[in-house]
């Protein structure tokens, strides 16, 4: 192992990591918003709305994230919304890819709440919006946390796919450095440890929340 090379390239890899984190945060926020909207649509009493949400979820869950990123870049950013940058296109692709999974996580969390509480709210004539915000969602969040954060690790990993559309994030820069230095082992091991550290932060946060809320996974 050439440790001098690792020391030399680490600042470069860390700067590329900041780009990966931008995609991760943006994609996660978008995925959570999309997931919440689709989950509420899936729970709608209006049948066409439920069907539409189900089809959207099925479509994006069926496609690999890389294909969704390509669609976001070559179709959305190149043909429709030409003002979008490759970074924004990657965030859209990651967000929609993960949003379909977040939707099912949120929906299953809401469905896990005892139906008797829904019946009690109807008996008390409590407004549905108030009941959802104060009664259902706080209980559903406890169930959502483990799968939500497990899926969040996958969102972080999905940022590495953005190198396919020319974004020089952590994986993309690692590949360039490996080709230029002819020492791929040192470069890739360093990148792997960075991904491991970032993923470990999410896992530790999940463990903390599970203990804090006494969750059963």
- pLDDT 10s digits, 157-166: 999 999 999 9
Q: Nearest Cα to 73, choosing from 165, 166, 156, 163?
A: 165
Q: What phi and psi values does residue 127 have, to the nearest 5 degrees?
A: -55, 135
The packing angle between helices 86-111 and 3-42, to 10°, is 50
Q: Nearest Cα to 169, choosing from 1, 22, 71?
A: 22
pTM attached to this predicted model = 0.88
Q: Report the residue count for the chain.
A: 217
Q: Render pLDDT for 80-108 as a digit per residue (tens, 0 to 9).
A: 888 899 999 999 999 999 999 999 999 98
The burial of 67, by beta-carbon neighbours within 10 Å (0-12 exposed, 13-18 middle, 19 or more buried), is given as middle
Eight-state DSSP code of residue 46: S
Q: Which pLDDT band holds residue 217 (cuts at 50, 70, 90)?
A: very low
Distance CA 21, CA 201 (A): 13
Distance CA 97, CA 99 (A): 6
Distance CA 191, CA 178 (A): 11
What percentage of the chain has pLDDT greater than the value 70? 92
pLDDT for the residue numbered 118: 67
Distance CA 28, CA 19 (A): 14
pLDDT for the residue numbered 212: 81
Distance CA 54, CA 7 (A): 49
CA end-to-end distance (rounded Å), the chain: 40
């Amino acid at each position: 192992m050439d440790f001098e090379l690792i020391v030399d390239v680490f600042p470069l890899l860390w700067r590329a990591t900041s780009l990966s984190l931008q995609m991760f945060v943006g994609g996660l926020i978008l995925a959570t918003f999309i997931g919440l909207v689709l989950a509420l649509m899936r729970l709608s009493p209006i049948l066409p709305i439920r069907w539409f949400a189900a089809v959207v979820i099925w479509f994006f869950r069926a496609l690999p994230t890389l294909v969704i990123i390509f669609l976001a870049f070559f179709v959305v950013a190149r043909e429709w919304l030409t003002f979008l940058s490759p970074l924004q296109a990657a965030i859209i692709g990651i967000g929609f890819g993960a949003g379909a999974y977040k939707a099912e996580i949120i929906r299953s969390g809401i469905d896990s709440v005892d139906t008797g509480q829904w019946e009690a709210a109807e008996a008390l004539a409590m407004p549905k919006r108030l009941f959802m915000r104060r009664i259902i969602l706080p209980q559903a969040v406890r169930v959502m946390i483990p799968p939500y954060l497990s899926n969040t690790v996958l969102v972080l990993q999905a940022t590495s796919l953005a190198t396919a559309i020319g974004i020089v994030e952590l994986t993309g820069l690692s590949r360039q450095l490996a080709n230029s230095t002819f020492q791929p082992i040192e470069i890739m091991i360093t990148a792997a440890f960075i991904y491991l550290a970032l993923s470990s932060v999410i896992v530790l946060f999940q463990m903390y929340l599970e203990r804090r809320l006494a969750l059963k996974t």
